[in-house]
């Protein structure tokens, strides 16, 4: 491998442009070497912001010279995740796939099996594991400051009643569109990271916007094997936002409002190598305790940069990738069960693998 690991980025839409490209460029030991996009406006943006990266029209050009790269990042629309990842693995290139790993659990599982058979590293960009509020909540749980956790509430809500054109609004199952796949892939992953294996799933999934072809309002209830119940909300029709996180234990609760600051900073051109990255002001700290006796808890700085730092270490030193892709298979399985639960109006057991 070269001194800096050479990265090929497939796709330069929202995921590629706002998240992956700046995070890769800011990670010591990585070099954004190639960006695959045909769109003229996206090519011009990439040329201005990443002038040292070569612009490529088609991913096939990368597979013809795999020795020119050390890592591939799949940031394409969801329907292309599987074929692009398969091509990268066949070329022997370590691969990062944006969430969700695949539109179905069967495809997700087959992709993980293929990576294992080929001996090629595979991981999934579950960046919300490095949200500051989630890092803080995890620390409080691990320290036992809530006592025995009884309920976990988590929301990714917004008010966007007008439908914007794009693949996320397409109804084909291969698109993996809609709120449950788009936002639920984060919320389900966070819940399982905090509280482990899920035994039962119940969901309510709706289309609330006029003309919507995919779900835009969803509620998912997970019952974990340890007894914790996770209640997850996601959607585009929430005129008044609830808490981002609320954890309730038999000793105390923890509540925090507002989204992690990193996505907005990335949209505005910020980079994680800048001072103060991921920090929130004291007036936005979450509150810990019991009503009448609450205290603010400093929110840990968000750290999306940790994902690619761990990828770099994994490739250089053979340590584990930051996200076990089997975790993402389980997430897609739970999303499928949630869709089925909503369609049938029943609570569904989670098969034990």
| Each residue's pLDDT tens digit, 12-36 | 999 999 999 999 999 999 999 999 9
| Each residue's pLDDT tens digit, 107-136 | 999 999 999 999 999 999 999 999 999 999
Residues 302 and 259: their CA atoms lie apart, in Å, by 11
- Whether 349 shows a pLDDT value over 60: the answer reads yes
pLDDT recorded at residue 174: 87
Give the mean pLDDT of 146-170.
92
Residues 23 and 2: their CA atoms lie apart, in Å, by 19
Would you place residue 2 in the very low, low, confident or very high pLDDT band (cuts 50, 70, 90)?
low
Tell me the percentage of the chain whose pLDDT exceeds 90. 93
CATH number corresponding to 5-125: 3.40.50.720
Give the mean pLDDT of 197-205.
98
CA end-to-end span of the chain, whole Å?
37
Residues 52 and 34: their CA atoms lie apart, in Å, by 9
> At the fourth CATH level, which superfamily is domain 128-303+334-349?
Dihydrodipicolinate Reductase; domain 2 (3.30.360.10)
Which of 215, 243, 226 lies closest to 154 in space, CA to CA? 243
pLDDT recorded at residue 223: 98
Q: Where are the beta strands (DSSP E) in 11-164?
A: 30-36, 54-56, 71-74, 95-98, 122-125, 149-157
Give the mean pLDDT of 162-182.
87
Tell me the percentage of the chain whose pLDDT exceeds 70. 99
Q: Is omega for the bond preceding 100 within 30 degrees of 0, making it cis?
A: yes
In whole numbers, what is the pLDDT of the chain averaged over residues? 96
Distances (CA, A) of 9 to 56, 63, 191: 10, 13, 29
95-98 and 122-125 beta bridge pairing: parallel
Residues 67 and 120: their CA atoms lie apart, in Å, by 14
228: three-class secondary structure by DSSP: coil
Within the chain, which residue ranges are assigned CATH 3.40.50.720? 5-125
Token pair in block for residue 61: 């050009």
65: three-class secondary structure by DSSP: coil
- Phi (first) and psi of residue 307, to 5 degrees: -60, -55
Residues 180 and 177: their CA atoms lie apart, in Å, by 8
Which of 11, 27, 2, 3 lies closest to 311 in space, CA to CA? 27
Would you place residue 167 in the very low, low, confident or very high pLDDT band (cuts 50, 70, 90)?
confident
Give the mean pLDDT of 96-114.
97
| Each residue's pLDDT tens digit, 42-93 | 999 999 999 999 999 999 999 999 999 999 999 999 999 999 999 999 999 9
CA dihedral 257, 262, 267, 268 (to 10 degrees): 100
Within the chain, which residue ranges are assigned CATH 3.30.360.10? 128-303+334-349
Alpha helices by DSSP H, listed for 246-344, are 262-267, 305-317, 325-344
Reported residue count of the chain is: 353
122-125 and 253-256 beta bridge pairing: unpaired
| Each residue's pLDDT tens digit, 238-295 | 999 999 999 999 999 999 999 999 999 999 999 998 999 999 999 999 999 999 999 9
- Whether 229 shows a pLDDT value over 80: the answer reads yes
pLDDT recorded at residue 353: 72
- Whether 1 shows a pLDDT value over 70: the answer reads no
């Amino acid at each position: 491998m070269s001194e800096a690991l050479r990265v090929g980025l497939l796709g330069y839409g929202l995921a590629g442009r706002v998240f992956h490209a700046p995070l890769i460029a800011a990670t010591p030991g990585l070099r954004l070497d190639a960006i695959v996009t045909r769109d003229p406006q996206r090519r011009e943006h990439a040329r201005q912001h990443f002038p040292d990266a070569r612009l490529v029209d088609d991913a096939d050009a990368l597979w013809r010279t795999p020795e020119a790269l050390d890592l591939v990042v799949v940031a394409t629309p969801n329907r292309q995740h599987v074929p692009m990842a398969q091509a990268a693995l066949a070329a022997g290139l370590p691969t990062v796939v944006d969430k969700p790993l695949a539109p179905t659990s069967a495809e997700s599982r087959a992709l993980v099996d293929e990576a294992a058979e080929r001996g090629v590293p595979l991981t999934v960009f579950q960046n919300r594991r490095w949200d500051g509020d989630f890092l803080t909540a995890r620390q409080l749980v691990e320290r036992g400051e809530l006592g025995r956790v009884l309920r976990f509430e988590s929301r990714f809500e917004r008010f966007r009643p007008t439908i914007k054109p794009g693949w996320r609004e397409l109804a084909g199952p291969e698109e993996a569109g809609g709120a449950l796949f788009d936002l639920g892939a984060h919320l389900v992953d966070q819940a399982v990271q905090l509280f482990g294996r899920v035994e039962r799933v119940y969901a309510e999934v709706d289309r609330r916007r006029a003309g919507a072809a995919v779900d835009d309002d969803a509620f998912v209830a997970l019952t974990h094997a340890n007894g914790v119940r996770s209640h997850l909300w996601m959607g585009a029709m929430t005129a008044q936002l609830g808490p981002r996180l609320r954890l309730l234990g038999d000793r105390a609760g923890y509540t925090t409002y507002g989204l992690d600051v990193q996505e907005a900073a990335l949209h505005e051109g910020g980079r994680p190598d800048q001072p103060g990255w991921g920090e929130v002001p004291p007036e936005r700290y979450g509150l810990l305790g019991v009503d009448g006796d609450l205290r603010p808890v400093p929110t840990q700085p968000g750290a999306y940069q940790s994902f690619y730092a761990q990828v770099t270490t994994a490739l250089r030193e053979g340590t584990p990738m930051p996200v076990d892709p089997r975790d993402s298979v389980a997430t897609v399985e739970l999303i499928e069960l949630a869709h089925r639960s909503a369609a049938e109006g029943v609570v569904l057991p989670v098969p034990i693998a």
